[in-house]
Amino acid sequence: MRIRIITDSSCDLPKDFIEQYDIGVAPLHIYIEGEDYTDGKDITHEEFYEKCQTASSLPRTSQPAPGDVLHLIHESLKEYSHVLSVNLSSALSGTYQTVNMLKESLGDVLTTFDSKNGSLGLGMQVLKACELVREGLSKSEIIKRLVEYRDSLDTLVYLETLENAVKGGRVSRLSYMAANMLNVKPIVYVDKHEGTVKVKEKIRGEKKALKYMIHTIKNKNIDFSDRVIGVTHADCLERANEFIHMLKEEIRPKEILFHSMGPVIGTYAAKGAIYVCF
């Protein structure tokens, strides 16, 4: 059975990986000040953050249109006998539900998988699925291994600002001003059982916050010499490089998968955020 892996543009995978594994990607849409942009086509990650700086309201993102996903599946089935769709957390987006709806009409040629994560937390699961396919494993064994891998991953996100949370009505302006005055940097995590984002800690100062993330990764107490860590950044390359240096010095993983954070997670994380999946 020839299986193709598909996902959506929230996976934040570098282009060379997408091409190397022939990953099918359905684009999400971003709405900024009334303008509709197709992720990865009409707007780059850098342009997205530039527009966010001047936007009066929080950008909106929407899942891929069902027609776009259906077209991607039909195109995939011209060369492959089966499609495995690895999706953004069902708690964060309706993509997983949309693909499941299509499965009702397509039948056994489509399998869906809820990553319960986003950004490279999703992207790393997409790559794992591709590797398992190349190993020639059966569909059921691929899903079994993918569940094990998903459940082994942890995710932390450093937030530089709560500005987008204020625009989105999730945090009051008063709390935002207090956090700024005290230089508080929230650290949030993805609950790998629910696929939701929750606050883990609030730390004063950037350096202490980044050190806290390194300390948390260390406390996982596993050998990272054979492990890949994923890092994305929300238009803060210098901070990301500093964090990667800390990872190399103190964690020493086998590989660090690095890319910019796309609009889906970036809309809520805001400029300056660092996302790490380990």
Nearest partner of 113 among 22, 11, 202, judged by Cα: 11
Q: Give the pLDDT score at 171.
A: 53
pLDDT interval class at 53 (50, 70, 90): confident
108: pLDDT strictly greater than 60: yes
Helix (H) or strand (E) holding 258: strand 255-260
Q: Of 3.10.560.10, 3.40.50.1480, 3.40.50.300, 3.30.1180.10, which CATH number belongs to 155-277? A: 3.30.1180.10
How far is CA 16 from each of CA 118, 130, 243, rounded to the nearest angstrom? 19, 14, 23
For residue range 142-174, list pLDDT tens digits in order: 999 999 999 999 999 999 987 776 665 555 554
Beta pairing, strands 228-233 & 255-260: parallel
Q: Are 206 and 185 in contact (CB under 8 A)?
A: yes
Interacting residues of 224 by C-beta distance below 8 A, sequence separation 6+? 217, 251, 252, 253, 254, 278
Q: Give the pLDDT score at 178.
A: 52
For residue range 242-274, list pLDDT tens digits in order: 999 999 999 999 999 999 999 988 988 999 999
Q: Give the pLDDT score at 183.
A: 85
Strand, coil or helix: what is 51?
Answer: helix
For residue range 178-195, list pLDDT tens digits in order: 556 668 899 999 999 999
Burial zone of 115 (CB within 10 Å; 0-12 exposed, 13-18 middle, 19+ buried): buried
Output 40 or 81, whichever has higher pLDDT: 81
For residue range 73-84, list pLDDT tens digits in order: 999 999 999 999
Percent of the chain scoring above 90 in pLDDT: 80
Q: Are 112 and 89 in contact (CB under 8 A)?
A: no
Domain residues of the chain, as ranges?
3-28+63-152, 155-277
Burial zone of 103 (CB within 10 Å; 0-12 exposed, 13-18 middle, 19+ buried): middle
Nearest partner of 148 among 137, 162, 161, 158, judged by Cα: 137
CA distance linking residue 221 with residue 236, whole number of Å: 29
CATH class of the domain comprising 3-28+63-152: alpha beta
CA distance linking residue 242 with residue 236, whole number of Å: 10
Sequence letter at residue 207? K
The number of angstroms, rounded, from the C-alpha of 108 to the middle of its chain's C-alpha atoms is: 27
86: pLDDT strictly greater than 90: yes
CA distance linking residue 185 with residue 203, whole number of Å: 5
Output 234 or 41, whichever has higher pLDDT: 234
Nearest partner of 253 among 275, 212, 274, 222, judged by Cα: 222
Q: pTM score, two decimals?
A: 0.93
Output 211 or 162, whichever has higher pLDDT: 211
